[in-house]
Amino acid sequence: MKIVVSLSSPDKIQKAVALGADLIELRLDLMSDDLSSVMAGVGGQCTIPIIATLRSREEGGAFTGDAEEWFSTIQPFLDLVDYVDVERKFRKFARMIHYQHLQVVASAHIKYMPSPDDLKAIERDLRAYGDVPKIAVTPSSARNLLDFLDFTLEAEKPLVTTVMGEEFRYARTFLPYFGSAWVYCHIGTPTAKGQYDIRELEQLQELLTYR
């Protein structure tokens, strides 16, 4: 399991690294309108992989533009990052991102709980254009959560799975034990509801890991 620290400011990159992050996610949709200053803050200061994410409002973020605006916003960061998070509606740009020798995190953030068959179909769709599928769901019951754990366990790897919202946030801590490659967290300011602080997550890891 690798820990991804999700940031709404590049000023916190060094702090995240010092606290044990394995990867950094830059939530460009939550940053200042002056992204040139964000680029200056990213350049050359990070020693671990960076994911550029411009999350749409439909999938829980703040970006409201069309596909062309999405790519024009992401494009200046392609020389500074290692991964780009690409939602399904922006998938036509995945090939251009691959041409830059970057990996694509193909993501789907779903505000309900898909059926087991639908989860498999979503995974196949994400793998068709991405390197690391990421599926976030919103369970409404413990049974939903059990189905999601089973899906995570049986699915092809690599795969990132997580839950949205507060009710079942505890699942973030143990989905990696069922095969999710990454877990997303914060270092003071959550970028999504339900995220743990990296220090909380590391304490929980310590408690949950067999010695």
For residue 47, the domain's CATH number is: 3.20.20.70
pLDDT band at 211 (very low <50, low <70, confident <90, very high): low
- Domain count within the chain: 1
Least confident of 9-23, 30-44, 54-68, 101-115: 30-44
What is the pLDDT at residue 133? 98
23 known member of a binding site: no
Catalytic residue, from 89, 92, 109, 111: name it: 109
Under DSSP, is residue 136 helix (H, G, I), strand (E, B) or coil?
strand
- First-to-last alpha carbon distance for the chain, in angstroms, is 16
Instruction: Look up the domain containing 182 and give its range.
Output: 2-208
120 within 8 A of 151, measured Cβ to Cβ: yes
134 is catalytic: yes
Q: How many angstroms separate the CA atoms of 81 and 69, rounded?
A: 19
103 in a known ligand binding site = no
pTM of structure: 0.94
**pLDDT surpassing 70 at residue 45:** no
For residue 43, name the pLDDT band (cuts at 50, 70, 90).
low
Instruction: Report whether 191 belongs to an annotated binding site.
Output: yes
- Reply yes or no on whether the pLDDT at 33 is more than 70: no
Give yes or no: 12 in active site.
no
